[in-house]
């Protein structure tokens, strides 16, 4: 399912990412510095996760921030930090992009979700439990109707994936564009054949942003079980990019 750290869920567009390179893997977009994550960023990045993307359809999945961060941020800090980029303005982190070069080297989202459900005992917590029950009901109804629901995406043409998250204060500054430019550069340097992301069809702003970045829609838009936005059901939009 689309993540709260959104492949699309928490993204807004900015100005063009025609940044200035200054060595050491750093780049400047206006007053925003784009660089690779370091372990010293961990606490600040974890704090940013809790406030970035406010108001977006996937600002929170089931209302338990610690478990959501374990799925959509901490796994990337622990397993592939070299594909994690941060945007910093005036010494404060204002955005990040968490990427993975190939799905074969990273646990699938469904696996990370299942681990978080067990680790944080989410079935014993009211809000997460309500989400999981609603999700099960959605899946059951869809099965009765012969409809597909959102699931992991695996295709060797687009084996890489990303999540991007930018704080409200950094929207319109070019931070999102700069993070994407850093990610595209890493993909090309490693000879990646392509990248995919999962966002929400209802998140028009995110879909437009990714379209501007060169991603195109792929496949249908199945229901995302359990997730609601403004009282309505939402649907997964898969988008792909090739160099």
Find the mean pLDDT for residues 219-237: 93
Structure tokens at 137: 């009901």
Task: List, for residues 117-176, the tens digit of each pLDDT value.
Answer: 999 999 999 999 999 999 999 999 999 999 999 999 999 999 999 999 999 888 888 999
Structure confidence at residue 101 as a pLDDT band (50, 70, 90): very high
- Average the pLDDT over each of 5-9, 28-32, 59-63, 99-103 and give the range with the smallest value: 5-9
Structure confidence at residue 231 as a pLDDT band (50, 70, 90): confident
Task: List, for residues 17-72, the tens digit of each pLDDT value.
Answer: 344 444 445 665 656 799 999 999 999 999 999 888 676 666 678 889 999 999 99
Residue 23 confidence (pLDDT)? 47
Residue labelled with tokens 């595209």: 184
Mean pLDDT across the chain, nearest whole number?
88
Domains, the chain, with CATH or none? 20-241 (3.40.630.30)
Structure tokens at 28: 């400047």
Strand 216-218 relative to strand 232-241, pairing: antiparallel
HSE, CB side, 13 Å, CA atoms: give it for residue 97: 29
């Amino acid at each position: 399912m689309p993540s709260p750290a959104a492949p699309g869920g928490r993204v807004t567009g900015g100005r063009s990412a025609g940044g200035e390179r200054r060595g050491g893997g750093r780049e400047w977009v206006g007053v925003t510095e784009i660089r690779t994550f370091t372990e010293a960023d961990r606490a600040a990045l974890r704090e940013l996760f809790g406030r970035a993307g406010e108001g977006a359809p996937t600002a929170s999945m089931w209302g338990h921030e610690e478990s959501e961060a374990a799925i959509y941020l901490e796994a990337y800090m622990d397993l592939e930090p070299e594909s994690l980029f941060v945007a910093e303005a005036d010494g404060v982190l204002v955005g990040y992009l968490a990427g993975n070069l190939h799905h074969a080297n990273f646990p699938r989202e469904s696996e990370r979700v299942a681990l978080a459900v067990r680790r944080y005992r989410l079935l014993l917590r009211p809000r997460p439990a309500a989400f999981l029950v609603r999700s099960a009901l959605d899946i059951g109804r869809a099965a009765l109707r012969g409809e597909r629901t959102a699931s992991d995406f695996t295709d060797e043409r687009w084996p890489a994936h990303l999540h991007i998250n930018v704080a409200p204060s950094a929207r319109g500054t070019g931070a999102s564009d700069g993070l994407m430019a850093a990610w595209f550069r890493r993909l090309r340097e490693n000879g990646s054949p392509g990248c995919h992301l999962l966002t929400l069809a209802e998140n028009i702003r995110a879909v437009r942003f990714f379209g501007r970045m060169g991603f195109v829609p792929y496949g249908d838009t199945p229901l995302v079980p359990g997730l609601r936005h403004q009282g309505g059901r939402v649907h997964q939009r898969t988008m792909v990019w090739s160099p």
